Amino acid sequence: MLQPKNRNQKYNDLFTDVDRGLIKIPKFQREFVWSKEQTAKLIDSLIKGFPIGTFIYWETRDELRYIKNIGNAPLPDTPKGHIVSYILDGQQRITSLYAVRKGVLWTREDGYEINYKDVSINLTLDPDADEQVVVVEPPEDAPSISVHKLLNGSLTELTKEYGKDVDLIEKIDIYRTRLTGYDFSTIVIADYPIDVACEVFTRINKGGTELTLFEIMVAKTYDEKRKFDLAREYERLIDNKKGAEKDLEDVGFETIPSSTVLQCMSAYLCQQVRGKDILKLNKSDFIDNWSTIKNGLFHAVDYIRTHLRIPVSQLLPYNSLLVPLTYFFIRNGGKAPSVLQDKLLRQYFWWASLSGRFSSAADSKIARDLERMDNIRAEKPPSYRGEEVKLTMDDLRWYWFSTGDAFCKAILCLYAYFRPMSFKYNSPTTIDNSWLIRSNSKNYHHFFPKSHLKKQEYEDWEANSILNITIVDEQLNKGDIRASAPSKYMKTFKTTNKELSNTMKTHLIDDIDAYGIWNDDYYTFIECRGQRVLKELKKRLEPKL
């Protein structure tokens, strides 16, 4: 049974341990934010013997990513073989006290400098007075001593400066004795698993911000000797500003979350992707296989972009789809899929996207789908018995368009597959992640504009059908079409685009004359386009093997 231990520490012992590298602040703690005023009040409480709360440490031999310096004061490495005490509660208090003890010069992000050598004690006041004796700057009209000098000055130095006034020397001695003799209340949790220690941190964190799985793994996998920092590696994976390697932003997949990358790693190492499985991953194995995961992920992304023709990550119905695909390409040695493997991978993608596969219990479903990837790698069609997707026009006709809905995103992926061209010039349409976040974003256009349909007294649920959505460029959407009826704006485009009929086929609108466009027949348009979409989806769900 896990059991915390009470352990008190004197002031000198506490900061000696910090100076020896035995007490560390884990990197998942928030930055130091206390002001000098808060620091001065804290020291005043110590002098008066007031309780200042309990410090909570996690004792472990695990090496976590930790804060390297406090202001301009570097913190030493932990001696080899020693147990480390990571601060779970009390960071702001300990950092404040250490900053004053060291006389730290702290430079904030805005460039403003805070000098903790200035925190001083007004020596004209009684230590036990109700009035606060510790101030942020030396008072101009009263004798004082900085707390930094009080704690670090030798007896000879203090006597030389204040020796002519016996009362001041006596007060200085009282202050010094009270500070260095203060008994700090501490609780130690020893050898708790990292996930439990982080749960403790989350529960006692006054901000109420729960640590993410990624933040925990950043701390757990940090390795100074191997120069591995997961937070930095993930940033480089998304956007490698140095440009030495390709990154996900280069290929339009910069929205892939860190949790998906962790699942890719766990899927490869242990064929499970639950949080508890990720936390159990061996640190060395994680670091050893980081390049493997990156390469597998890029192969998966390349497959999605080239074979499925999904140009950007914002269109993906589920980020979780990348996990089994990454697993496949790693296990397949990075080789391009065979003709049969390609058909089976496509079938899996569309089945998972249209079935709501990862809308709930995604972790357990991904684990089962890894077995499907093994089957596909062996060119054996995986079974979907009891989980088949059988679509009809009733499933499509009035399906509400929403950019957060996986089914809608699957239909948008289908639209993107045909590489939609500009209505106006038959030129390629640029699809960008930043233009796909909301339903009124630049790339989305209701072919029958909603405002036009509203005037014709159609209901919102009719106007916002996924079958009424086309992918266009910004200028076309906001500048040329606006609220015009299709018969009107398409007549204009017919004069600028001699290939208009072929252009519309890239939007799954095969026959302008038959789709009810010239007489603004919305119901005919929905039925015709719906049948076209349905035909393409069935081809993907039921490929000829």
pLDDT in tens, the chain (545 residues): 677 888 888 888 888 888 888 888 887 656 666 788 999 999 999 999 999 888 888 888 877 777 777 777 788 788 887 888 888 888 888 888 888 898 888 776 667 788 889 999 998 888 887 889 999 898 888 888 999 998 888 877 888 887 777 788 888 888 889 998 899 889 888 878 777 777 777 676 645 455 678 888 888 888 878 999 998 999 999 988 766 678 999 999 999 999 999 999 999 999 999 988 998 899 899 999 999 999 999 999 999 999 999 999 999 999 999 999 999 999 999 899 999 999 999 999 999 999 999 999 999 999 999 999 999 999 999 999 999 999 999 999 999 999 899 999 999 999 999 999 999 889 888 877 665 555 456 678 899 999 999 999 999 999 999 999 999 876 665 666 777 899 999 999 999 999 999 999 999 999 999 999 999 999 999 999 999 999 999 999 999 88
Looking up tokens 């500009």 gives 422
Tell whether 121 and 149 lie within a shared domain.
yes
**3-class SS of residue 254:** coil
Residue 208's pLDDT is: 46
What is the rounded distance in angstroms from the CA atom of residue 109 to the CA atom of residue 474? 37
Tell whether 181 and 271 lie within a shared domain.
no
**3-class SS of residue 63:** coil
- Asked which of 342, 360, 389 is the last residue of a domain, the reply is 389
Looking up tokens 């089914």 gives 407
Residue 436's pLDDT is: 55
Parent domain of 241: 227-389
- Asked which of 168, 202, 236 is the last residue of a domain, the reply is 202
Residue 484's pLDDT is: 84
Q: What are the tokens at 433?
A: 């992640």
Asked whether residue 221 is domain-assigned, the answer is: no
Tell whether 13 and 46 lie within a shared domain.
yes
Q: Are 373 and 347 in contact (CB under 8 A)?
A: no
Q: What are the tokens at 293?
A: 């995961």
Tell whether 493 and 527 lie within a shared domain.
yes
Length of the chain equals 545
Tell whether 382 and 429 lie within a shared domain.
no
**3-class SS of residue 85:** strand
Tell whether 332 and 444 lie within a shared domain.
no
**CB-based burial of residue 368 (10 Å sphere; 0-12 exposed, 13-18 middle, 19+ buried)?**
exposed
**CB-based burial of residue 94 (10 Å sphere; 0-12 exposed, 13-18 middle, 19+ buried)?**
buried
Asked whether residue 62 is domain-assigned, the answer is: yes
Which residues pair with residue 364 across a beta bridge? none
The residues, ordered by sequence, that sit 6+ positions from 354 with a Cβ below 8 Å of its Cβ are 389, 391, 407, 410, 537, 541
Asked whether residue 210 is domain-assigned, the answer is: no
**3-class SS of residue 432:** coil
Dihedral sign for Cα atoms in the order 381, 386, 387, 391 = positive
Q: Are 199 and 208 in contact (CB under 8 A)?
A: no
**CB-based burial of residue 484 (10 Å sphere; 0-12 exposed, 13-18 middle, 19+ buried)?**
middle
Tell whether 274 and 295 lie within a shared domain.
yes
Domain count of the fold of the chain:
3
**3-class SS of residue 20:** coil
Asked whether residue 218 is domain-assigned, the answer is: no
Tell whether 423 and 308 lie within a shared domain.
no
Tell whether 43 and 169 lie within a shared domain.
yes
Q: What is the pTM of this model?
A: 0.76
Residue 196, CA atoms < 13 Å, CB-side half-sphere: 13
Tell whether 385 and 406 lie within a shared domain.
no
- Asked which of 360, 389, 418 is the last residue of a domain, the reply is 389
Asked whether residue 319 is domain-assigned, the answer is: yes
Strand pairing report for 134-135 and 144-146: unpaired
**3-class SS of residue 346:** helix
**3-class SS of residue 120:** strand
Residue 4's pLDDT is: 82
Helix axes 339-354, 362-377, angle to 10 degrees: 160
Start-to-end C-alpha separation, the chain: 56
Q: Are 198 and 58 in contact (CB under 8 A)?
A: no
Asked whether residue 209 is domain-assigned, the answer is: no
DSSP state of 435: G
Query: Residue 190 phi/psi, 5° resolution?
Result: -105, 130
Tell whether 166 and 239 lie within a shared domain.
no
Asked whether residue 222 is domain-assigned, the answer is: no
The residues, ordered by sequence, that sit 6+ positions from 80 with a Cβ below 8 Å of its Cβ are none
**3-class SS of residue 423:** coil
What is the rounded distance in angstroms from the CA atom of residue 261 to the CA atom of residue 297? 8
The residues, ordered by sequence, that sit 6+ positions from 128 with a Cβ below 8 Å of its Cβ are 48
Tell whether 170 and 256 lie within a shared domain.
no
Amino acid present at 183: D
**What is the distance, to the nearest Å, from the Cα of residue 434 to the centroid of all Cα atoms in its chain?**
17
73, 77, 78, 79 alpha-carbon torsion, rounded to 10°: -120
